[in-house]
Structure 1
Amino acid sequence: MYKVFVNDVPIILSTQKNIGSNYTNIPIKKAKIKRLIKQIEAGELLYLNLYHKKERKLLKHLKKQLKVVKAGGGLVLNPKNEILFIYRNKKWDLPKGKMEKGESMEETALREVEEETHVEGLEIHSFLQITYHIINRNDKYKLKETHWYEMKTSFDGKLIPETSEGIKKAKWKNFEQTQKALKKSYANIKLLFPQEYLVQHPNDRIG
């Protein structure tokens, strides 16, 4: 199963013809993807399951209808186990960006994290997962495929947000601060975190 987000609404890609009474279930081979995305954006469709009996065919069929933009990003930890966040478009996000020609995905992820926050000394610790969401560029829908890596650094210098990319802040956040930040983040970012980060802290009285 895959989740492909339109804003924070997930399109489910699955091998099951019916995943619940709330869902509109459509064979992915017959789905008019762009029309369905517009319905989701308009709030007319909130539960959508696109299915195919072979799981490996799900993304293949989606990618036939949407151009893919590949990106890399990082969930970065320092020695205090604080996590590196950026603040852009009134949301807390993790640093990431588009792959450039000739780069490996790991090189993309490291470069983008460094460019967006000016953090130094990054090392990739492990691969996390791939997330998918729909973007609209010049009135054309595209599928953004982001490869995420857990990274570590001992850098304790000043973080500098890349303002030319619309980033207002770059900050390290501890466990409780991360819990709060994730309330003002994106659904696909939340997929990268263990459940304990997504449960409201008992001392958090906001919201």
Structure 2
Amino acid sequence: MYKVFVNDKPLFLTQEIRKETDFQLFLMEGIDFSQLIAKMFSNKVKKAYLYHPDEKEMFRTIKSNVPVHKAGGGLVYNRKGQVLFIFRNGKWDLPKGGTEKGEKIEYTALREVEEETGVEKLSIVRKLQKTYHVFRRNGRYKLKVTHWYEMKTDYDGPLRPQLDEGIEKAAWLNPEDIEQALLNSYENIKLLFEEQLTDN
């Protein structure tokens, strides 16, 4: 099952029909995907299942309707076990950004973390899950597919938030502070930490 967040509301792409009380169920056949997204953006639909017997086929259909924006980001640990966060648009987030032409996604993730926070000496530990969310830019919907990597660094210099990207601050958060930060974060960021908890 794919989880796509539309304006931070869950849209599950599923090949099973479930009897849920608070989710609306839509069949991929005959659905106007752009209209469904518009309804989720305007709060007319709060959470939904989109059903098709072939999940991969469903995802291909969505990608043919909504342009895909590929991004890479990092869940970065320092030697003290703290995690690197950024604060932007009133929410805690993890550093990430779009790929440049011909760039390998791992390089995108490393470059974006360094650009957005000033943290150097980064190395990738392992690949994490991808996250999916739909956003609107210049009146058009786009699907952002972010490839996440767990990273580590020995860097202990100053953090330099990328102000021209709207990042107000970059901070190393202790494990006990992360829970509080996630209360004011995005659903796809929370997913990464759920994965970390189940893997560790």
Interval containing the TM-score (normalised by the shorter chain): over 0.9
SS in structure 2 opposite 1:111?
Answer: helix
Q: How far is 1:132 from its partner?
A: 0.3
Distance in 2 separating the partners of 1:70 and 1:2? 16
1:53 counterpart = 2:53:
yes
1:194 counterpart = 2:185:
no
Q: How far is 1:110 from its partner?
A: 0.3
Q: How far is 1:24 from its partner?
A: 2.1
**8 Å CA contact 1:29, 1:61 repeated in 2:** no
Give the structure 2 partner of residue 130 of structure 1. 130
Give the structure 1 partner of residue 152 of structure 2. 152
Distance in 1 separating the partners of 2:19 and 2:164? 43
Residues 154-199 of structure 1, C-alpha deviations (whole Å, 9 max, x = no match): 10000000000000000000011111111110001000003897xx
Distance in 1 separating the partners of 2:38 and 2:96? 26
Distance in 2 separating the partners of 1:22 and 1:76? 36
Moved more, 34-43 or 146-155: 34-43
| One-letter identity of the residue aligned with 1:172 | W
| One-letter identity of the residue aligned with 1:55 | E
Distance in 2 separating the partners of 1:80 and 1:54? 44
Q: How far is 1:17 from its partner?
A: 2.8
Residues 114-170 of structure 1, C-alpha deviations (whole Å, 9 max, x = no match): 000010000000000100001111000000000000000010000000000000000
SS in structure 1 opposite 2:192?
Answer: coil
Distance in 2 separating the partners of 1:19 and 1:133? 24
How many residues matched? 197
Give the structure 1 partner of residue 143 of structure 2. 143
Distance in 1 separating the partners of 2:176 and 2:31? 42
**8 Å CA contact 1:73, 1:146 repeated in 2:** yes
Q: Name structure 2 gaps, 5 residues minimum.
A: none
Residues 78-101 of structure 1, C-alpha deviations (whole Å, 9 max, x = no match): 011100000000000000000000
Distance in 2 separating the partners of 1:115 and 1:59? 31
Distance in 1 separating the partners of 2:89 and 2:189? 15
| One-letter identity of the residue aligned with 1:102 | G
TM-score, normalised with respect to structure 1: 0.91
Q: How far is 1:55 from its partner?
A: 2.2
| One-letter identity of the residue aligned with 1:65 | N
Distance in 2 separating the partners of 1:178 and 1:21? 32
Q: How far is 1:43 from its partner?
A: 1.5
Kindly report which structure 2 residues correspond to 1:54-73, keeping only aligned pairs within 5 A, or say none: 54-73=54-73
Distance in 2 separating the partners of 1:61 and 1:29? 10
Kindly report which structure 2 residues correspond to 1:33-52, keeping only aligned pairs within 5 A, or say none: 33-52=33-52
**8 Å CA contact 1:73, 1:110 repeated in 2:** yes
Change (3 A) 1:126 1:154: same
| One-letter identity of the residue aligned with 1:27 | L
Give the structure 1 partner of residue 3 of structure 2. 3
Identity rate of aligned residues, in percent?
A: 50
| One-letter identity of the residue aligned with 2:143 | L
